[in-house]
Structure 1
Amino acid sequence: MGMRGLETCRLAFDTEIPDEAILVRPGMALHAIGSALIYERLSTAALMLGALDLALLVTATHLRRRKQFGVPLYEHQALRLRLADLIARTALARRGVHATVAEFSAAGVVNMCEVAGVKVTVARLAEHVASECAHLFGGHGYVEDETRFPQLLRDIRVGRVGGGTDEMMWELAAKGMRTDDALYDRWVRS
């Protein structure tokens, strides 16, 4: 659907693997490639941030240049505030990705549950922001001959499946959820 430069296809192997060639016990492959998945998920989040920056920059420029009713679109408060919200959410996402990468770089390890949460949150945000930015372009945002938003929307979609689907990421994030019975007992009167 998107990222047409990637040569993604289904592979199937019909062969016997001799015991001496097996790298991990059967059923443990996902655990064995865990560190590679951390890189993939962080890379996906970073890729989504780049797409967000592109969409927001082009859209902010559009709001300043395009005039409606004799004034730039930026002068219409509803549009300006809508874009400001998208920019603020993107700034928070960027800080989350940068902090996670910095932690991983410094310690060599990172909480896999948090990485999953960061990846899924940024990927979903990217899809939302790109859609909203296309909307702020009006009809031009949906016409391939007018803007590149249709391509961007298709390309961003891979962020929600690459490195693990949203549901897989939320399952991992849920495994890292903290609880505190003593705090609960102080807050909730039974």
Structure 2
Amino acid sequence: MDQSIDPLQTRIADALTTVLTRTGDLDAELAAIGVPGMGAPESVGGLGLGLSADTMVNLGLGRGLEPQASYRETALVLDLLAGSEVPRSRLAALLRGEQHAATVGVHTTADLRVDDSGRAWGESEHLPAGRFGLALIRAMEQHGNSGWYLVVPQESTCETESGTRLGLSTVRLRFTGAPAEALRLSEPHTRWALDAARVRQAALLLGVADRALELARTHVNQRRQFGKPLVELQTVAHELARLIGAADGWRLLLHQTAWRCDRGRAEAAEPSRLLAAASEHALACARTSLHLHGVRGMLAHSTPAAAFRVASVEATRLDTPANLWNAAGAARGDAADS
């Protein structure tokens, strides 16, 4: 398999870098270069470029410390709705970057139910802040099973509560009889969409890790202690060398997993394994960078502190690394038994 970055991926990365230098609305700027539509399936109005394109976008967002979690939630909803009967016209605003979509009760358990009249009640988990035009919820039904429902958040039946997690904006949606449209999503299709979400999240975290390492490397080459640059201390140099070497390996694994997922060749364990490794790597890089910067790195406005906050929140957004490793192990076991 060719592990090199193809010209299209390079152009996407360059376009993303340009977007991050601008000061306008980031969602609008991303939409101008085709995000989230470039990776979305053609059946929902996207370009169908797949994860090979999405990884470049998320690597760039991570390096820019612009997590844009609402974009990845939108991409997940578009994947989940691929092949459904939801008309493209209802998704157009998502593809233009004017609205976001969110999943509720998918990454974690949420207290949601849908009554016999098709109305949703309950409260979501903490979601990334966004302009939500659609919510795809997993809710309990009257007979005790769970089902998929599409909800259009409206002020009369959906309250929004704002909050923060380590300085990153969040919202909670409280449904009070919101009309819910039942959807039928197959288990294999759901697994495929969630695997794609894990690959995107891993790309973001590896981008955050790259930025944290860049900050640390620059600092230790400039900062002097005991009469010489910090980088000349073996404990500092060896730890950074280890993390930089690991980063190269995880980045190769990211591109390989995205390539295999796009072609339907990925094993069930691969996306969970990738995200678990990327989460642990990002946290290790962010902590090391913060430690090497000392007190200056701990100031709330410092870039190392920003990298640490983003890594801490995003490393557990879809699940904890421990749970992801368990899921990967279980998938390998199931594959061996079959």
TM-score normalised by L of structure 1: 0.77
Gaps of 5+ in 1: 182-190
Of residues 172, 175, 199 in structure 2, which corresponds to 1:42?
199
C-alpha separation in 1, matches of 2:208 and 2:336: 38
Task: Answer yes or no: is 1:165 the counterpart of 2:320.
Answer: yes
What amino acid does structure 1 have at the position aligned with 2:304?
F
Question: Does the CA contact (< 8 Å) of 1:116 and 1:173 recur in 2?
Answer: yes
Question: Does the CA contact (< 8 Å) of 1:127 and 1:157 recur in 2?
Answer: yes
Percentage of matched positions with identical amino acids: 27
2:275 corresponds to: 119
How far does residue 89 in structure 1 lie from its aligned partner after superposition?
1.7
2:285 corresponds to: 129
Q: 1:9 to 1:31 in 2, by over 3 A?
A: farther
Of residues 173, 179, 189 in structure 2, which corresponds to 1:11?
173
1:184 corresponds to: none
Gaps of 5+ in 2: 1-164
After superposition, the C-alpha distances for 1:152-188 in whole angstroms (9 at most, x for unaligned) are 111112233222333442332122225989xxxxxxx
How far does residue 95 in structure 1 lie from its aligned partner after superposition?
1.6
Instruction: Map residues 78-157 of structure 1 onto 2, 5 A cutoff.
Output: 78-105=235-262, 107-108=263-264, 110-145=266-301, 147-157=302-312
TM-score normalised by L of structure 2: 0.46
C-alpha separation in 2, matches of 1:10 and 1:157: 20
Question: Does the CA contact (< 8 Å) of 1:2 and 1:151 recur in 2?
Answer: no
RMSD: 2.7
How far does residue 14 in structure 1 lie from its aligned partner after superposition?
4.3
1:69 corresponds to: 226
C-alpha separation in 1, matches of 2:292 and 2:208: 16
Deviates more, 1:75-84 or 1:107-116: 107-116
* Structure with the larger strand share: 2
Count of paired positions: 172
How far does residue 3 in structure 1 lie from its aligned partner after superposition?
6.5
1:54 corresponds to: 211
* Structure with the larger helix share: 1
C-alpha separation in 2, matches of 1:139 and 1:94: 30
SS in 2 for 1:11: strand
Question: Does the CA contact (< 8 Å) of 2:282 and 2:315 recur in 1?
Answer: no
Question: Does the CA contact (< 8 Å) of 2:211 and 2:307 recur in 1?
Answer: no
1:187 corresponds to: none
Higher RCO by CA contacts (8 Å cutoff, separation 6 or greater) = 1
What amino acid does structure 2 have at the position aligned with 1:11?
L
What amino acid does structure 1 have at the position aligned with 2:272?
A
Question: Does the CA contact (< 8 Å) of 1:45 and 1:122 recur in 2?
Answer: yes
What amino acid does structure 2 have at the position aligned with 1:139?
V
C-alpha separation in 1, matches of 2:197 and 2:336: 32
